[in-house]
């Protein structure tokens, strides 16, 4: 290294050290405020909770930006310098002059978009190479003239060639121009990002969420964002990206977890998944609910004050029709059904009891008698049991679990026999949107809700009375207290204030509250591997975001679900019409050219109209194949695992179901590994060409294929390795 470089490096290290000193000071200040807020400082509990949450979010943001706080510098033609980093820092002694620009700030954008041909007023871009808090070195890119001494790809190539760790890394220091355009796109509706394997569509979507949380902080923080992924392994893989960018108000979930209290991973067969994913299942669900609104086969006798009245089919039919015409969900319409039935029964009973001496002109007597009869009905177990039979209170789980094992109920609901299963509660991912739909069709059980409200009101009243008693006790003890202390107490401890102190406020974080609330609506939703989502899945997600603000990530060529998307327009148009835009990513940053050539041959056979993404690099390492016998296969897999364990990075063995030591391709979607061994590709191909395409595109460095049966035609160009 030249002496000039060494001196410049020392200067940059001093500057970065100063940034970390500011970060530490800011962190200490916010933590002190946070701890003080926890103490209350005399404010009401509700205000305290709001303040604690806000400061808690600041503490988290400051705690996660240590690694690579500052990753670059921009030198303008005017001579001005700007440092770019994960968050913004300011010099409070110099009119809050920015000493570090947040990467999402408009002034930081040229760091990602300036080129020699379009320098955007810059003469140089400097990219830092860091490890933790230490600045190891830097690379300069001259932007003063096209074709100058540019080394802009150095940081990118270093990042994509580095061994993979346990989870996805952010790309904040190496965002490319086509990615930056998508991240900062100003579109209030649905943005569809499509790209082949390795194009970075997932990480771009996550950075877009971070950008929206920065530019729309006040709007976004009240509702948060939702990220939906294909499986728990994928969510674990991407889970560090947003926290590393200082953002934590995000809920991560799969479609199998969208109903609070359920965690579902099992999948239906293709035909059942297709049927449940289609919007035609809505008619089945409505019919299944209607089928539980029954009429009595025979009149049901109810004894009231020595008079027997009957719930007959005519009465129940009138009550059922009135309840249905109310437009209320099933459970809430039960009140209408009950009112009609009780009206008929009490009218009949009063008419018989008062026959010969009571007329409708005697309103007071009539109503008094009705009130007593209503109390008798409410306490009558047979009447309650009959209501439960004719119009039961249902939960989504109860209705669906009783539908699947009953061929009679499936037939009555107009459902396909393919939906039958012996265990009604053996939930699958395709059941989740049906359960969510039923939550709306059934509604809440208002009876239990009203009882809870009455109990809560009684509790609040008791707390207020207790607090008032404490206050009165303090007044009685006035002679024993210092006058100043008493005045202070009177100023602070009013009965309502005391009551509030006994009320438990919801101190959960936004993420905890949102994840537990089926009715929570998010400000923005990211959907990854969106080509797999069914029409019913989209209904669930649209309910979760009233503003219809989505970032949709997918690749139609990788669709494997029978209920998945064949066209983005067909899935989205019913909800957002013309409020969706499409962007594509065409550069493969993950898969080296040698491996992508193999995958592209498979793609050309099952989706010839789709162009494979172009790899940004080559490694010189050729993929290989090896034919083994059934007895040799297990040993060969063990050899691969053992060899890769000695190397840095990660590896995986992908195979068809039933092959020991392998995982299915579906569980590796969206993931990446340094080395991949694909076992029995012909069997994977039989399950679906998209699965083989996914398996072949997970590797960032090395790809091997192990096969007993002959290779599929698209893979016959692989170099065959023979071992003795």
Smallest CA-to-CA distance from 167 within 245, 239, 64 is with 239
Is residue 216 located within the same domain as residue 323? no
Residue 201 marked in a binding site:
yes
Count CB neighbours of 13 within 10 A: 14
Residue with tokens 């990206």: 241
Asked if 551 and 208 touch (Cβ cutoff 8 Å), the reply is yes
Evaluate whether residue 226 is within a structural domain. yes
Same domain (yes/no): 15, 160: yes
Last-in-domain residue among 409, 424, 442: 442
Query: Is 15 among the domain residues?
Result: yes
Q: Is residue 561 part of a domain?
A: yes
Contact 673, 645 (CB under 8 A): no
Co-location of 126 and 148 in the same domain = yes
Structure tokens at 386: 């009959």
DSSP SS3 for 406:
coil
| Domain boundary residue, one of 442, 470, 488 | 442
Which of 629, 631, 642, 647 lies closest to 700, judged by CA?
647
Task: Return averaged pLDDT per consecutive 10 residues of the chain, 724 residues in all.
Answer: 90 96 91 78 58 73 82 94 93 86 94 88 92 91 62 65 74 87 94 94 94 89 92 90 86 95 94 97 98 96 88 97 97 96 90 69 76 89 95 97 97 97 97 98 74 65 66 58 54 50 65 92 96 97 96 94 94 92 93 94 92 91 94 95 94 94 92 96 92 95 95 89 64
How many residues in total does the chain contain? 724
Nearest CA among 496, 450, 553 for reference residue 209:
553
pLDDT on residue 448: 55
Question: What are the residues whose beta carbons fall under 8 Å from the beta carbon of 598, sequence distance 6 or more?
Answer: 623, 696, 703, 715, 717, 718
- Asked if residue 54 belongs to a domain, the reply is yes
Quick count: other Cβ atoms within 10 Å of Cβ 581?
A: 12
* CATH number assigned to the domain comprising residue 210: 3.40.50.300
Q: Tell whether 195 is in a known binding site.
A: yes
Cβ(16)–Cβ(70) below 8 Å: yes
> Of the residues 427, 442, 457, which one is the last residue of a structural domain?
442
- Identify whether residues 678 and 696 lie together within a single domain: yes
**Dmax (CA) of the chain:** 118
pTM (predicted TM-score) = 0.84
Measured CA to CA, the distance from residue 84 to residue 100 in angstroms comes to 6
- Residues linked to residue 190 through DSSP beta bridges, in sequence order: 550, 580
Residue 581 belongs to some domain of the structure: yes
Local structure of residue 198 (DSSP, 8 states) = T
The answer to whether residue 450 sits within a structural domain is no
Which residues have CB under 8 Å from 430's CB, separation 6+?
Answer: 267, 268, 272, 273, 276, 277, 534, 536, 563
Are 50 and 145 part of one and the same domain? yes
To the question of whether residue 113 is assigned a binding role by annotation, the answer is: no
Was 148 annotated as part of a binding site? no
Residue 202 assigned to a binding site: yes
**From CA 235, how far away is CA 667, in angstroms rounded?**
11
pLDDT digits (tens, 9 = 90+) for 599-630: 999 999 999 999 999 998 899 999 999 999 99
Six-digit token pair at 491?
Answer: 């100023």
Asked whether residue 149 falls in the same domain as residue 23, the answer is yes
Rounded Cα–Cα distance for residues 540 and 532 (Å): 14
CB atoms within 10 A of CB 713: 12
- Residue 633 in contact with residue 657, Cβ under 8 Å? no
Provide the 8-state DSSP code for 166: S
Summarize pLDDT for 399-415 with one digit per residue, the tens: 999 999 999 999 999 99
Whether 135 and 164 have beta carbons less than 8 Å apart is answered as: no
Q: What is the pLDDT of residue 492?
A: 46
Pick from 147, 102, 142: which is nearest to 125 by CA? 142
Cα–Cα separations (whole angstroms), residue 557 to 532, 552, 691: 11, 15, 10
- DSSP for 285-302, written as a single string: HHHHHHHTS---SS-EEE
Q: Which of 549, 525, 581, 545 is nearest to 194 (CA)?
A: 581
Strands 651-654 and 673-679, by their bridges, are parallel
Q: Which pLDDT value is given to residue 505?
A: 58
Asked if residue 668 belongs to a known ligand binding site, the reply is no
**DSSP 3-state of 614:** strand
Range of the domain at 423: 292-442
CA distance 198 to 207: 16
DSSP-H helix ranges across 40-117: 45-63, 110-113
CA nearest neighbour of 64 among 85, 31, 86, 83: 86
The span from the CA of 101 to the CA of 85, in Å, is 6
Contact (CB, 8 A) for 695 and 622:
no
| One domain, residues 235 and 319 | no
Does 569 carry a binding-site annotation? no
Task: Provide the edge-to-edge strand list for the sheet that holds 719-720.
Answer: 651-654, 673-679, 699-707, 624-627, 719-720
Domain membership flag for residue 185: no
Report pLDDT for 724: 46
165: annotated binding-site residue? no
- Please check whether residues 545 and 418 belong to one and the same domain: no
Q: Tell me whether residue 147 is in a domain.
A: yes
Question: Residue 555 has what pLDDT?
Answer: 95
Contacts of 588 (CB under 8 A, 6+ apart): 196, 197, 198, 199, 596, 612, 613, 614, 615, 616
Q: Are the beta carbons of 626 and 705 closer than 8 angstroms?
A: yes
Tokens of 567: 């066209």
Phi/psi of residue 451, nearest 5 degrees:
-65, -40
Report yes or no: 135 and 12 within 8 Å, Cβ to Cβ: yes
Say if CB 67 and CB 244 are below 8 A apart.
Answer: yes
- Give the CA dihedral 333, 337, 339, 345, nearest 10 degrees: -170
In a shared domain, residues 542 and 418 = no
Residues 559 and 613 in one domain: no
The answer to whether the beta carbons of residues 435 and 259 sit under 8 Å apart is yes
Three-state SS across 444-496? CCHHHHHHHHHHHHHHHHHHHHHHHHHHHHHHHCHHHCCHHHHHHHHHHCCHH
> Does 550 share its domain with 687?
no
Report residue 193 as tokens: 């990002």
Count of helix runs (H) and strand runs (E) in the chain? 28, 21
Instruction: Determine the pLDDT at residue 150.
Output: 44
Q: How far apart are CA 673 and CA 650, in angstroms?
A: 5
Distance separating the N- and C-terminal Cα atoms of the chain: 48
pLDDT tens, 77-119? 999 999 999 999 999 877 789 999 999 999 999 999 988 888 9
In this structure, the answer to whether residues 340 and 419 fall within a common structural domain is: yes
For residue 191, the model assigns a pLDDT of 97
The domain tally of the chain equals 4
């Amino acid at each position: 290294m030249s002496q000039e470089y060494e001196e410049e490096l020392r200067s940059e290290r001093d500057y970065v050290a100063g940034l970390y000193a500011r970060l530490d000071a800011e962190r200490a200040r916010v933590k002190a405020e946070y701890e003080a807020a926890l103490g209350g400082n005399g404010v009401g509990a509700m205000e305290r909770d709001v303040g604690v949450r806000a400061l808690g979010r600041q503490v988290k943001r400051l705690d996660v930006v240590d690694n690579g706080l500052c990753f670059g510098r921009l030198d303008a033609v005017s001579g001005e310098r700007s440092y770019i980093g994960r968050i913004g820092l300011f010099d409070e002694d110099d009119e809050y002059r920015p000493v570090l620009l947040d990467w999402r700030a408009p002034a930081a954008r040229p760091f990602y978009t300036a080129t020699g041909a379009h320098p955007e007023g810059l003469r140089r871009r400097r990219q830092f190479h860091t490890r933790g808090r230490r600045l190891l070195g830097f690379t300069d890119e001259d932007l003063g003239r096209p074709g100058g001494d540019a080394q802009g790809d150095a940081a990118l190539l270093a990042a994509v060639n580095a061994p993979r760790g346990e989870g996805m890394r952010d790309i904040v220091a190496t965002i490319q121009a086509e990615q930056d355009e998508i991240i900062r796109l100003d579109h209030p509706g649905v943005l569809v990002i499509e790209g082949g394997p390795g194009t970075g569509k997932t990480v771009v979507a996550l950075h877009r969420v971070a950008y929206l949380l920065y530019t729309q902080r006040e709007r976004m923080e009240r509702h948060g964002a939702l990220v939906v992924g294909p499986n728990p392994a994928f969510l674990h893989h991407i889970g560090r990206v947003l926290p590393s960018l200082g953002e934590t108000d995000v809920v991560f979930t799969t479609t199998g977890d969208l109903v609070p209290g359920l965690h579902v991973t099992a999948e239906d067969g293709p035909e059942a998944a297709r049927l449940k994913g289609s919007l035609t299942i809505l008619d089945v669900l409505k019919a299944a609910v209607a089928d539980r609104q029954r009429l009595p086969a025979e009149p049901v006798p109810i004894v009231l004050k020595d008079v027997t009245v009957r719930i007959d089919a005519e009465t129940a039919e009138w009550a059922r029709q009135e309840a249905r015409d109310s437009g209320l969900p099933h459970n809430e319409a039960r009140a209408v059904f009950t009112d009609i039935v009780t009206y008929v029964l009490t009218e009949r009973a009063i008419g018989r009891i008062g026959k010969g001496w009571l007329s409708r002109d005697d309103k007071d007597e009539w109503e008094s008698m009705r009130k007593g009869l209503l109390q008798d009905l409410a306490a009558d177990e047979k009447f309650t049991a009959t209501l439960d039979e004719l119009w039961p209170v249902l939960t989504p789980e109860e209705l669906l679990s009783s539908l699947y094992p009953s061929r009679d109920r499936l037939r009555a609901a107009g459902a396909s026999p393919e939906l039958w299963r012996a265990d009604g509660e053996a939930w699958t991912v395709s059941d989740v949107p049906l359960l969510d739909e039923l939550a709306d069709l059934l509604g809440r059980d208002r009876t239990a809700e009203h009882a809870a409200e009455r109990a809560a009101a009684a509790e609040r009243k008791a707390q207020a009375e207790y607090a008032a008693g404490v206050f009165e006790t303090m007044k009685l003890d006035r002679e024993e207290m210092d006058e100043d202390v008493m005045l202070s107490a009177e100023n602070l401890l009013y009965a309502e204030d005391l009551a509030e102190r006994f009320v438990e406020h919801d101190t959960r974080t936004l993420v905890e509250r949102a994840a537990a609330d089926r009715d929570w609506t998010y400000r923005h939703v990211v959907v990854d591997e969106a080509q797999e989502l069914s029409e019913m899945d989209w209904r669930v997600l649209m309910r979760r975001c009233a503003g219809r603000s989505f970032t949709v990530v997918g690749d139609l060529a990788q669709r494997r679900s029978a209920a998945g998307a064949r066209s983005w327009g067909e899935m989205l148009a019913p909800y957002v019409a013309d409020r969706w835009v499409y962007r594509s990513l065409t550069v493969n940053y993950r898969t080296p050219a040698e491996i992508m050539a193999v995958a592209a041959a498979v793609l050309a056979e099952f989706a010839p109209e789709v162009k494979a993404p172009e790899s940004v690099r080559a490694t010189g390492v050729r993929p290989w194949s090896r034919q083994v016998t059934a007895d040799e296969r297990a040993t060969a897999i063990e050899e691969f695992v053992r060899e890769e364990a000695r190397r840095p990075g990660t590896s995986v063995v992908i195979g068809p179901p039933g092959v020991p030591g392998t995982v299915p391709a579906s569980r590796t979607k969206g993931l990446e590994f340094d080395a991949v061994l694909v076992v029995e590709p012909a069997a994977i191909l039989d399950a679906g060409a998209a699965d083989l395409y996914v398996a072949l595109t997970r590797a960032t460095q090395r790809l091997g294929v192990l096969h007993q049966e002959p290779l599929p035609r698209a893979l016959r160009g692989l170099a065959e390795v023979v071992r003795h």
